[in-house]
Amino acid sequence: MVLLGASGVGKSSLALRFGKDHFRSTSPTVGCAYLTQVVHLSEATLRFEIWDTAGQEKYQSVTPLYYRGAHAALLVYDISSRESFLRAQLWLTELEKQMVPGATVLWLVGNKGDLDEGRQVSSQEGEKLAKDRGLSFTETSARSGDQVHELMMAVAHRVYEQAGAEQGRLTEWTGTSPEDMRHRDTSNRLSSCCRVGP
């Protein structure tokens, strides 16, 4: 799973909620941060490698290394920043150029729901963009934790439905390290992200 979006939209905070279920203010990510999270479904157990990419423009040229081959991509924007919503649309255009249709679960995430009083992007706008471009949509708050667990479970179910049911799409976890990921061929969309098991 890769998290994409402008700097400051809360990608690192979302990743921390996914992996550790707590919140802390973070400084901008340099390059890419990495953590794992195990999700137990009734049908299988998935182990996600969660790649939190830097939102600054100077890192955009290396970001495709992380999202090629991803089973899920979350496009994150800040509901209190219209600019971040526009940037999410640019990220989406780049994703659409790189990804094989139907190979990756794409999710639009309006984060910072706790800043509703300063909202610049309505939930209807988010829903419309998602519907028009064939994405799923959720609003969350990494600070309060609102809808974060539900988002993780929904993504996991969608990944399993889309890829896990096809033999060979999800492969057995082999403990790939972040260092190994930097040096392997990430253009192969069958690369392992998840563990399938009882």
pLDDT one digit per residue (tens) for the chain, 198 residues: 888 888 889 888 888 888 777 776 665 444 455 677 889 999 889 988 888 776 444 445 445 665 677 889 999 999 999 999 999 998 898 888 877 777 889 999 999 999 999 999 999 999 999 999 999 999 999 999 999 999 999 999 999 998 655 545 555 544 444 444 443 333 333 333 443 344
Quote the CA–CA distance of 190 and 170 in Å, as a whole number: 7
Dist. CA 64–CA 96, nearest whole Å:
11
Helices (H) and strands (E) in the chain, counts: 6, 6
| Gap between the Cα atoms of 140 and 62, Å rounded | 27
Return the pLDDT at 81.
Answer: 97
96: Cβ–Cβ under 8 A, 6 or more apart, which residues? 133
44-102 residue pLDDT tens: 899 888 887 764 444 454 456 656 778 899 999 999 999 999 999 988 988 888 777 77
> For position 4, what pLDDT does the model report?
87
Q: What is the pLDDT of residue 108?
A: 97
Dig out the tokens for 140 from the structure. Answer: 């969350």
What pLDDT is stored for residue 66 in this prediction? Answer: 58
Q: Integer distance in angstroms from the first to the last C-alpha of the chain?
A: 21
Q: Which domains does the chain have, with CATH numbers?
A: 2-183 (3.40.50.300)
- The H-or-E segment that residue 124 falls in is helix 123-133
In contact, 96 and 21? CB cutoff 8 Å: no
